[in-house]
Structure 1
Amino acid sequence: MTRTSLLLLCLTVFLTSCQDDDDPISIIDVPTSYSFERNGNQTVSFDGQTTRIAMAEELVAAFSDPGNSQEDLMNMFRNAGPNDEDVAPFATAELNASDKSIRSKIAASADYFSANATGSTAVRNDFEGWIAGQATEVFPRWNELAAPGEAGQLAVGSRVRYVNAKGLEYNQVFAKSLLGGLMLDQALNNYLSPAVLDAGTNRADNLAATTEDGKPYTSMEHKWDEAYGYLFGQSADPANPLATLGEDDQFLNEYIAAVDADTDFNGIAQTIFDAFLRGRAAIVAGDYGERDRQADIIREHLSRVIAVRGTFYLARGADATETETTRGGGFHALSEAYGFVYSLQFTRKPGTGAPYFSREEVQQLLATLTESSPNGLWDVTHDDIRSVAQLVSDRFGFSFDAAAN
């Protein structure tokens, strides 16, 4: 066989293998910022995510006002009264006018909960239980000192923390659990899911540039952007969000920045942003294989953010158990850790349809922190906390020391 014949044969095999793939051969034009246009109109939109982040911030702040009742907090959670009546629970008129709510998107992803109503209900009950606990356990003892078995306040340096009878700060548990139950679940297991991106005629519509009624974007483009919005929806410049990363909201945005600031994990923010950018460009190009490869990168690294930060707070809490004078500060760290560990059940292991930790495994980890003794965090040991942290870091493949520093 001549060299020319051999080259032609190799080229034929290469092209055939490409054509056998589900995706057409495409050239992906990746911009430098998250900005995409069609016919001169911006196609990026994630208003719903921006709204829910704002609602969540107002609700978390309301946990610190003992003048609020359980009903007040619940009305904010569902953006409606108990019978779905309009009650205008927010201080911001735009939020009251919205048809969005936090509760409706808790544990509501297509991949994890569309066929798991029991699991979804259990998660929502957890959130509503933390609301009830703040209103009925902590608020009535707002001006009383906390003690083992008694809710109340603890002085931590110049700050005052408010804990339940087991030492948990419900506001921290609620806020950090939103990272998983709302934002991570919706981004990783819903909007980046092929079940959502490719629903109905989305693939054909996207290739034909058929947009949603009255909108400049295709349905597939919009779903991808909604995942992006849970990270960068409140950024000062959403097209170039890394410049103010960590300053724009108190949820995923803040903690991506915190993990990225650790030299052991530096670059994770850029990796996540680049994957969103390239995945969106792949959608425009009709390259769905590349889209899904970028979705897996996002899943891996966003899941890692939750694990790293959870391990960080567990390490802080473990250190604080060594002396009674810092135990109150340890409660704060462990309450944050509790929410991060809770959020592990919403992570997504790339290439699978499963989280890094199941709900049952997460419940076992949390029980180690709060159920090992009658008084919960008041009596939890350094070794018990460290064992939870080690299990998390081992599962994700990073060292405890890397996350703890």
Structure 2
Amino acid sequence: MMMKRNFLYSTILVAGVAMVSSCSKEKNTTPETIKPYTVPTTYDFTGADYTTSTQRVKMGVELNSYLGSANNATITATKAGDYFNNTNAPFTDATLNTSGITLASKTADATVFTGYFTEQANNSTKNTVTATNGSAGIVVSGTTKRLVSATGLEYNQAVAKGMMGALFFKEAVNILNAVPNDDNTTVTNGTTAMQRHWDEAFGYLSVPKNYDTTKVYTAADLDRPLLWGGYLAERGKGIQAGGVIFGAFLKGRAAIGAKDYTVVKEQIAIIQDKWEQLAAAAALEYVTIPTRSVNVGNLATQFHALSEGFGFISCFKYRATRSKLSAADFQTLQSIIGTNFYTLINETNFTKLVQAQTILKATYKL
């Protein structure tokens, strides 16, 4: 009787395993069909809409302009806060005032930036006196004047380049990280959630939909690259950042439409890695400029470069988890760029700045 019962149990168990195996096998052998597709040369996909990210970039540009006006005028942290929070209709582009979006809601470490607003406003009351180590004021090179803090930092640059990381780069990285888990089946207003999120990330790059890496864009071009888009050419030519990142956004969006998810994931990695390398290329240039013999003693040039470097190095805080930059090297870079700028430019052989250059070159193959 016992043997018969065991035989019956074994038979049921084998049948159950066979059923599970059969179901599992059937599921794995019927993947979603990948449709044939071509990659376009412009970001002109049906239903593509990245209005909110584009509007935030424009808001950032206007905030930066206001903070930069402190070189010649007294500004207030309250007004800077209006730009940041989209209150009291601060923008010259009226559509931004009624957009219902803000910079503050998407900016990481927002209190750090509001602190920078206060520092820049306080320093603006000293824009007629010469800066010295320990005292804010103006440094001049020819007809160019720069408002710097007691340590030589231009807070408007800390905001401009810092928010390029804490908002635009951070948002693009995080959105792309989530894309593989988005719904790409349900269509709402012509697009799926995956397509809409991909478009939103693209908007933070801030380039025209027909971006041309060979074109020299000027202020006369109404539809021109802004912020990160501008740096594709300004600091990214040597690493072909413009063509690589724009091309990956095109290919990834086309692949989403065809449900080619392997390619989508490949493009996410390409975009994130090259974008981070672009930040590194900019940071490298700005920690190198002050050490060139032609610039030694030119405080306006040296401090301006270091201030931009300060912002770009902060961008690495929001890098993708697979970043080549180690936590230890990031801390070292932050420590170096956080040093009093008067100390950095007067250090024998620029030891700390050369150390920063070495880390950036070795990590990012620059």
With normalisation by structure 2, the TM-score equals: 0.83
253, 261, 269: which is aligned to 1:288? Answer: 261
Tell me, what secondary structure is at the counterpart of 1:160? strand
Deviations 1:331-364 (A, max 9, x none): 1111111111111112225xx3x67354x75454
Aligned to 1:35: 44
Q: Distance in 2 between matches of 1:88 and 1:25?
A: 47
Match of 1:8 in 2: none
1:252-280 Cα deviation digits (max 9, x unpaired) = 01111123433xx2x33212111111100
Aligned to 1:110: none
Residue 328 in 1 paired to residue 300 in 2?
yes
Number of matched pairs: 332
1:385 matched to 2:353: yes
* C-alpha distance after superposition, 1:300-354 (max 9, x if no partner): 1111100011101111022269732x233111111111111111112225xx3x6
Structure 1 unmatched ranges of 5 or more: 1-15, 38-42, 81-86, 108-122, 400-405
In the TM superposition, 1:79-228 aligns within 5 A as 79-80=86-87, 87-107=88-108, 123-136=109-122, 138-189=123-174, 191-193=175-177, 195-196=178-179, 198-199=181-182, 202-205=183-186, 210-211=187-188, 215-228=189-202
Distance 1:55 1:197, change over 3 A: farther
Using the alignment, how far apart are the partners of 1:348 and 1:282 within structure 2? 22
Where does residue 52 of structure 1 map in the other structure? Answer: 56
Normalised by the length of structure 1, the TM-score is: 0.75
Q: Which residue in the other structure is 2:325 paired with? A: 356
Q: Does the CA contact (< 8 Å) of 2:184 and 2:192 recur in 1?
A: no
Quick check: 1:177–1:342 contact (8 Å CA) kept in 2?
A: yes
Q: Alpha-carbon deviation of 1:27? A: 2.4
Matches within 5 A, 1:5-24: 24=33
1:284 & 1:327 partners in 2: Cα distance? 52
Work out which of the two has the higher radius of gyration on C-alpha atoms and give 1 or 2. Answer: 2
Q: Are the counterparts in 1 of residues 164 and 315 from structure 2 also a CA contact under 8 Å? A: yes
Distance in structure 1 (CA, Å) of the matches to 2:162 and 2:217: 18
SS of aligned partner of 1:276: helix
Q: Aligned ranges for residues 203-282 of structure 1 at < 5 Å?
A: 203-205=184-186, 210-211=187-188, 215-233=189-207, 235=208, 238-242=209-213, 244=215, 247=218, 248-262=224-238, 265=239, 267-282=240-255
Task: Indicate whether 1:340 and 2:325 are aligned.
Answer: no
- Identify the residue that residue 336 of structure 2 maps to in structure 1: 368
Alpha-carbon distance in structure 2 between the residues aligned to 1:336 and 1:173? 7
1:301 equivalent in alignment to 2:274: yes
- Percent of aligned positions that are identical: 28
Change (3 A) 1:311 1:292: same
Unaligned runs of 5+ in 2: 1-24, 219-223
